[in-house]
């Protein structure tokens, strides 16, 4: 498994509050045609905590049917319990996932010590039939894996890498320096993508790549071609839209952007609510500035 490049954490479309598998398939076809290195199903932007196990399995099955063998399918399998995460990882592997993405547990954050995290991820990695990726999203969970914990876990033969969703380049650099060369750090913050790549990140799992996949791939390619001035200029152009569909408006904003860009976006699943008209117009202007269909 070559863990590199640009992969979007794909949103999950709903119709009338129910999972829309056909719309998901159409979106997947368009994403793959854009040159992405693979897809990530059931991440935070996929509203994974709002789906039950049966729906989650249907999403993985539907996406695997569209993703060819030469491209990656990574499935989010995080549950609050270790046992639940192990079960979800096994199901995802059986449905064809190439790797599983495991967000930190967070409900009992006061007691989630470094040792608890090491035991949790070690148990999941021991049991998972496919490689495990750590997933750190402190802004969402209120929990952050420490550099020391990641360094310990990186020694596990079935833990292949990590998605770090923060934009702290110093922290990203520390993680890269503390882990083996074959442990892949993937950036989760599109505004910090350029800097993350320069720091040694192998790629990115970026919400922005669901809306502007070609441009995110172009940025990755420019950095690897050492055309850094062009890459930096493109990063500056992408950052306003990236912020709108993540930090400012979150999943509802991302879905509004998808709809405006001609994908099947639709509404988020309750209790999340759609963005209002003002936010939708702000997102449309940001898309138009990048010459993305609106």
Strand, coil or helix: what is 161?
strand
Q: 86-97 burial, b for 16+ CB within 10 Å, e for fewer?
A: bebbbbbbebbb
Q: Which residues contact 281 (CB under 8 A, 6 or more apart)?
A: none
Q: Which residues contact 156 (CB under 8 A, 6 or more apart)?
A: 121, 122, 125, 132
For residues 267 and 104, give the distance between their C-alpha atoms in angstroms, rounded to a whole number.
26
For residues 240 and 143, give the distance between their C-alpha atoms in angstroms, rounded to a whole number.
26
For residues 46 and 27, give the distance between their C-alpha atoms in angstroms, rounded to a whole number.
13
Catalytic (active site) residue 109: no
Cβ-contact 211, 254 below 8 angstroms: yes
Residue 28 phi/psi, 5-degree rounding, is: -60, -45
Cβ-contact 27, 61 below 8 angstroms: no
Catalytic, out of 120, 152, 163, 184: 163
The catalytic residues are: 163
């Amino acid at each position: 498994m070559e863990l590199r490049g640009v992969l979007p954490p794909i949103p999950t479309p709903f119709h009338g509050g129910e999972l829309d598998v056909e719309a998901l398939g159409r979106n997947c076809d368009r994403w793959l045609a854009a040159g992405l290195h693979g897809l990530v199903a059931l991440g935070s932007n996929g509203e994974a905590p709002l789906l039950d196990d049966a729906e989650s399995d249907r999403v993985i099955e539907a996406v695997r049917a569209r993703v060819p063998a030469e491209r990656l399918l990574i499935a989010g399998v995080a549950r609050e319990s270790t046992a639940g995460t192990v079960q979800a990882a096994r199901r995802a592997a059986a449905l064809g996932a190439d790797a599983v993405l495991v967000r930190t547990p967070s409900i009992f954050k006061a007691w989630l010590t470094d040792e608890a995290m090491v035991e949790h991820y070690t148990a999941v990695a021991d049991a998972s039939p496919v490689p495990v990726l750590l997933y750190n999203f402190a802004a969402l969970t209120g929990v952050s894996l420490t550099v020391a914990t990641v360094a310990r876990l990186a020694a596990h033969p079935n833990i292949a890498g990590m998605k770090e969703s923060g934009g702290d380049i110093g922290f990203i650099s520390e993680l890269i320096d503390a882990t083996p060369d074959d442990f892949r750090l993937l950036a989760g913050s599109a505004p910090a993508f350029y800097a993350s790549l320069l720091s040694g990140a192998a790629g990115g799992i970026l919400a922005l790549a669901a809306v502007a996949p070609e441009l995110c791939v172009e940025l990755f390619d420019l950095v690897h071609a050492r055309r850094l001035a062009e890459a930096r200029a493109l990063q500056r152009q992408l950052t306003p839209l990236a912020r709108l569909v993540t930090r400012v408006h979150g999943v509802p904003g991302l879905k509004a952007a998808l709809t405006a860009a001609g994908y099947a976006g639709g509404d988020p699943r309750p209790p999340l609510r759609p963005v209002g008209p003002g936010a939708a117009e702000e997102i449309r202007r940001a898309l138009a500035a990048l010459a993305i269909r609106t």
